[in-house]
């Protein structure tokens, strides 16, 4: 082991040892580094891995959801659908296959490029418009969409004031009477105990060469906020990367109030995806609402 590598390794271990007992909530914007090219490429592979649902649900489950959403939002040929945090377009392209005109926005350039390529490959590019956008600065035509979807709890990765502003932007781009489907974690199903874990590997979302990964989860009962802090130590270079992910949970009555304040109707609240055969269906609540 070189002297430089040994020094970096020692410094990295000292940083882990000296880390604060509890992390600063919403550090790094409370989210993963989606715009980092290397991290984005690794995350894309997780999205496309159909052996698990850690990043995107597996194809069989997605198709169930898409059929259910299509029916519950009364979509039809020519409906304009906005997929917020669309990832690599796995939902959006399928909605286009059913005849919708789809716009998708996502923070991650790697995912957006893949979504655009997927639409072209499937002969659906004329029905799909995937754009890299930060949804906090959503920039789309007003009163344009018949429906919007925001899946897999992504609304919860923003602090409450920011999330409320996002909803106000979504209201503006929906037609009067336009629908929103919002999927959020059920706070009753969440493990609220502090915990930690570690593992080693040589590939995956946390790295593409040998690494040691250390994870910690913290629960703030007053704020109903989960904070996960990750330290990944590159064993070849000795360098350390810290990441963080926050999940802001909402009691159903509280989220209903936020939706009403933003300009939506009283939501219909659906637990467990209405009995769809999803491996984690019991962990989720779907909110169905309309622009007033």
d(CA 155, CA 146): 20
| Residue 123 backbone dihedrals phi, psi, to 5 degrees | 70, 30
Same domain, 177 and 260: yes
d(CA 270, CA 61): 17
Question: What percentage of the chain has pLDDT greater than the value 90?
Answer: 97
- Is residue 230 pLDDT above 90, yes or no? yes
Q: Kindly indicate the confidence band of residue 195, based on its pLDDT and cuts at 50, 70 and 90.
A: very high
Same domain, 105 and 221: no
Domain that holds residue 18: 3-30+191-248
| 126 lies in some domain | yes
| 170 lies in some domain | yes
User: Each residue of 200-228: pLDDT tens digit?
Assistant: 999 999 999 999 999 999 999 999 999 99
Burial 243-261 (b: 16+ CB within 10 A, else e): bbbbbbbbebeebbebbee
User: Each residue of 141-194: pLDDT tens digit?
Assistant: 999 999 999 999 999 999 999 999 999 999 999 999 999 999 999 999 999 999
Same domain, 166 and 205: no
| 47 lies in some domain | yes
Same domain, 203 and 284: no
Please state the domain count of the chain.
Answer: 2
- Is residue 123 pLDDT above 80, yes or no? yes
Same domain, 259 and 286: yes
Same domain, 26 and 99: no
d(CA 187, CA 225): 10
Asked if residues 246 and 157 have their Cβ atoms less than 8 Å apart, the reply is yes
Same domain, 145 and 280: yes
pTM for this structure?
A: 0.95
Same domain, 78 and 99: yes
pLDDT at 34: 92
| 35 lies in some domain | no
Mean pLDDT value across residues 234-246: 96
Instruction: Check which CATH number belongs to the domain holding 75 and give it.
Output: 3.40.50.150
Range 160-165 contact pairs with CB under 8 angstroms and sequence separation of 24 or more: 160/248, 160/258, 162/136, 163/248, 163/258, 164/258, 164/261, 164/262, 165/136
User: Each residue of 19-36: pLDDT tens digit?
Assistant: 999 999 999 999 999 999
Mean pLDDT value across residues 258-280: 97
pLDDT at 51: 94
| 114 lies in some domain | yes
Same domain, 96 and 222: no
- With CA atoms as reference, report the closest residue to 276 among 53, 52, 62: 62
Last residue of a domain, one of 229, 248, 267: 248
| 218 lies in some domain | yes
| 134 lies in some domain | yes
- Is residue 1 pLDDT above 80, yes or no? no
Residue 8: is it exposed, middle or buried by C-beta count within 10 angstroms (0-12/13-18/19+)? middle
Same domain, 177 and 206: no
pLDDT at 273: 98
Secondary structure element (H or E) that encloses residue 289, with its range = strand 284-290
Same domain, 90 and 223: no
Same domain, 128 and 266: yes
- Is residue 282 pLDDT above 90, yes or no? yes
| 15 lies in some domain | yes
pLDDT at 2: 73
User: Each residue of 90-113: pLDDT tens digit?
Assistant: 999 999 999 999 999 999 999 999
């Amino acid at each position: 082991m070189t002297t430089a590598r040994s020094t970096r390794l020692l410094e990295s271990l000292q940083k882990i040892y000296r880390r604060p007992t509890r992390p600063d909530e919403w550090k790094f914007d409370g989210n993963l580094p989606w715009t980092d090219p290397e991290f984005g490429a690794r995350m894309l592979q997780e999205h496309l891995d159909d052996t698990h649902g850690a990043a995107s649900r597996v194809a069989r489950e997605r198709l169930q959801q898409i059929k259910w959403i299509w029916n519950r939002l009364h979509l039809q040929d020519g409906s304009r659908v906005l997929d917020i945090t669309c990832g690599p377009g796995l939902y959006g392209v399928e909605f286009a296959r059913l005849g919708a005109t789809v716009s998708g926005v996502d923070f991650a350039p790697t995912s957006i490029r893949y979504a655009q390529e997927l639409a072209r490959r499937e002969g659906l590019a004329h029905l799909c418009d995937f754009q890299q956008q930060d949804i906090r600065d959503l920039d789309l035509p007003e009163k344009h969409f018949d429906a919007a979807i925001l899946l897999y709890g992504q609304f919860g990765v923003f602090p409450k004031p920011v999330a409320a502003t996002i909803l106000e932007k979504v209201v503006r781009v929906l037609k009067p009477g336009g629908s929103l489907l919002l999927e959020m974690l059920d706070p009753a199903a969440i493990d609220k105990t502090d915990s930690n874990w570690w593992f080693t590997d040589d590939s995956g979302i946390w790295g593409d060469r040998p690494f040691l990964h250390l994870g910690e989860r913290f629960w703030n009962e007053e704020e109903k906020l989960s904070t996960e802090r990750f330290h990944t130590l590159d064993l070849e270079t000795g360098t350390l990367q810290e990441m963080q992910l926050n999940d802001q949970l909402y009691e159903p009555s509280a989220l209903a109030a936020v939706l009403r304040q933003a300009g939506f109707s009283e939501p219909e609240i659906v637990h467990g995806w209405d009995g769809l055969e999803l491996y984690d269906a019991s962990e989720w609540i779907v909110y169905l609402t309309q622009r007033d």
